[in-house]
A = this chain, B = another copy of it.
Amino acid sequence: MKLRHLTFRLLEVYVATVRTGSVTAAARQLHLTQPTVSQQLKRLAEAVGEPLLQSGAAGVETTEAGSELYRAALDVTGRFDDYQDYLAELRGGRRGHFSIALVNTAQYVLPRLLGPYSRAFPDVDVTVQIGNRQQLLGRFDRQLDDIYVFSHPPSLEHALAARFLRNPLVMVAPENHPLAQRAEVESTDLARERFLLREPGSATRMLFESWLQGQGVQLSGILQMASNEAIRVGVTSGMGLAVLSQHVLPAVNPGLVVLPVRHFPIESHWYFIVRRDRRLPHAARGFLRFASDRVEHCLPLEYVRNEIPSLLASLGATAESSAS
């Protein structure tokens, strides 16, 4: 039996013939002529190597090999119908998997989108990667994830970016700090303060340093700490000052005050980034759609800045209809 040249179309024709019990009726059903169907059936029988049909009273009836083939054909087409259903779910973004990579800071806000999303799409598996900016840039280069959340997008040559949330950076101090009493703090006041900063390359640090440069101020004492949490606790216990994303601070933060520094807060934004060259899984696209629809409900309205629609639009224009 030469299965190789057996097509699903052939099985379809065969099934229609057996169902109707007539070559002519099958031809009508499939919008073919009767000889076409006859010939297809002949080819099929040749492929199987056994007669499948014999002329019966009215029309044709199956031989033994034929009725077993009919069963097999139904099973097979049924299995593929299931596969089609699966594909439909995949395409609709209702099933599947995607991976999203967050810079540390973003882990304070993204769950408020990802949580509702997971509840709405329980059949989608989401992998969340968290790392510092450096690590994420590495992952981005190696194309390990589908969506990235940066506070400052990398080179846009290979990527598309859309802001979705303001990320104001504020300066915090322990509540008993001398500057905490002032109505306004000048940049020059900061020169002799000790600062707790994230590692170089961190977006927060980069922005702060470029702000300092703009102000012509040079810091004296710097203490590098690996995590925002550690910094917050460090500030509270009087180790120094820090610049942090406002989202990192709890709603009430006993022991900490935000300093009224002139030209603060430093405005920045979080971006959703997707690679231009990598095909976005349907589920990832579904998440972006979801985020675009719901970001106003899931996150504080005054921070939202929803540019996702234009990102989706550019995606729709490029990534559609590319295969393997």
Contact = CB atoms under 8 A, between A and B. Distances in A.
A91 B87 CA distance: 39
Contacts of A97: 64
Interface in A122-164: none
Contacts of A5: 7, 9
A279 interface: yes
A323 B86 contact: no
B3 A42 contact: no
Interface string A77-110: 0011011101100110000110000000000000
Given A76-B76, A96-B64, A45 B323 contact: yes
A46 interface: yes
B83 A45 contact: no
A210 interface: no
Contacts of A82: 72
B3 A45 contact: no
A321 B45 CA distance: 11
Contacts of A96: 64
Secondary structure type dominating chain A contacts: helix
Interface stretch (A48-56, A181-189, A198-206, A229-237): A48-56
A79 B82 CA distance: 15
A6 to B, nearest CB: 5
A68 B86 contact: yes
Interface string A6-26: 111100100000000000000
Contacts of A41: 324
Interface in A224-258: none
A7 B44 CA distance: 12
Contacts of A72: 79-80, 82-83
A193 interface: no
A51 B91 CA distance: 12
A41 B324 CA distance: 8
A267 interface: no
A65 interface: yes
Contacts of A42: 323-324
A218 to B, nearest CB: 46
A73 B84 CA distance: 13
Q: Which 9 A-B pairs have the closest CB atoms?
A: A45-B324, A4-B9, A45-B323, A72-B83, A3-B8, A51-B324, A6-B8, A76-B76, A7-B7
Interface of A: 1, 3-9, 12, 41-42, 44-46, 48-54, 63-65, 68-69, 72, 75-76, 79-80, 82-84, 86-87, 90-91, 96-97, 279, 281, 322-324
23 contacts: A1-B84, A3-B8, A3-B12, A3-B80, A4-B8, A4-B9, A4-B12, A6-B7, A7-B7, A45-B324, A48-B87, A49-B87, A50-B91, A51-B322, A51-B324, A53-B324, A54-B324, A68-B83, A68-B86, A68-B90, A69-B83, A72-B82, A76-B80
